[in-house]
């Protein structure tokens, strides 16, 4: 069965409907998380991808990725998706980022004289790690509990930023910063490709950085393109219901 995908569909919307296509966008270098709002045609043009060939590959069942079980985020409730992000992506980052900090520091110390960029890799990874720790704490202590409350039909909690939309915009801004750091890490490591003289630790570090990028793409996509828009919609509906109950027009 052919997938119903058009060049006018947004990249984020395509992956939201068909999670198994995420790897194909990654392989083509097309950002489906922070850049998920671009139409497919524009995204392909931006990255030098032939849209006709790529669209055909996306539509055909044979092009679907195999070997990796991907969840259908769009089919989850808000609570289920918030739980999934915490239990899967947040848990992964909390375990993996300390390991990567130690690994990048070791590689920079041993091989920094051979490639000065390794010190930058260590610094960028450290900054990303600190930023994501703060980011996840805000989501887990403020935004996600609010989303679960909205999903349960209990109304909204007061937010320090003033609204669900305001909190979401801040999280999306932080996602863009994280995306910039990941892009910088990719450039500093020549696309996560080891030089011929790389030791095993160096090679493991590059593979770990590639895995981090893939997981972050999935993570941010589920939030930016599925969880956050639905949370804003739920909050808006909740606000309308409260206004009606109070007799406001």
Query: Band of the pLDDT at 161, cuts 50, 70, 90?
Result: low
Q: What percent of the chain has pLDDT over 70?
A: 87
How many CA atoms are closer than 13 Å to the CA of 11, on its beta-carbon side?
Answer: 30
Question: How crowded is residue 116: how many other Cβ atoms within 10 Å of its Cβ?
Answer: 10
47's tokens: 């990255």
Look at the chain and count its residues. Answer: 249
Amino acid 68: pLDDT: 45
Q: Residue 91 — pLDDT band, cuts 50, 70, 90?
A: very high
Q: What is the mean pLDDT of residues 65-70?
A: 47
Q: What is the pLDDT of residue 23?
A: 77
Q: How confident is the model at residue 53 (pLDDT cuts 50, 70, 90)?
A: very high
Residue 63, pLDDT above cutoff 70: no
How confident is the model at residue 2, as a pLDDT?
A: 58
Q: Is the pLDDT of residue 13 over 60?
A: yes
Q: Is the pLDDT of residue 244 over 50?
A: no
């Amino acid at each position: 069965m052919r997938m119903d995908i058009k060049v006018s569909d947004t990249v984020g919307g395509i992956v939201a409907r068909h999670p198994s296509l995420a790897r194909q966008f990654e392989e083509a270098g097309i950002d489906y998380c922070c850049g998920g709002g671009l139409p497919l045609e524009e995204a392909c043009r931006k990255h030098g991808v032939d849209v006709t060939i790529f669209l055909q590959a996306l539509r055909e069942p044979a092009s679907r990725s195999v070997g990796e079980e991907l969840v259908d985020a769009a089919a989850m409730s808000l609570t289920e998706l918030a739980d999934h992000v915490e239990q899967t992506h947040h848990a992964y980052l909390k375990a993996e980022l300390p390991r990567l900090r130690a690994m990048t520091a070791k590689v920079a110390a041993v091989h920094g004289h051979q490639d000065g960029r390794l010190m930058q890799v260590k610094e960028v990874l450290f900054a990303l790690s600190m930023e994501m720790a703060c980011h996840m704490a805000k989501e887990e202590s403020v935004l996600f509990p609010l989303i679960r409350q909205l999903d349960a039909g209990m109304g909204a909690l007061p937010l320090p930023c003033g609204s669900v939309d305001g909190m979401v915009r801040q999280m999306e801004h932080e996602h863009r910063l994280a995306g910039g750091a990941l892009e910088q890490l990719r450039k500093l490591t020549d696309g996560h490709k080891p030089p011929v003289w790389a030791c095993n630790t160096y090679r493991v570090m590059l593979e770990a950085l590639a895995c981090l990028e893939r997981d972050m793409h999935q993570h941010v996509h589920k939030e930016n393109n599925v969880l956050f828009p639905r949370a804003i919609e739920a909050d808006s509906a909740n606000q309308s219901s409260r206004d009606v109950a109070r007799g406001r027009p």
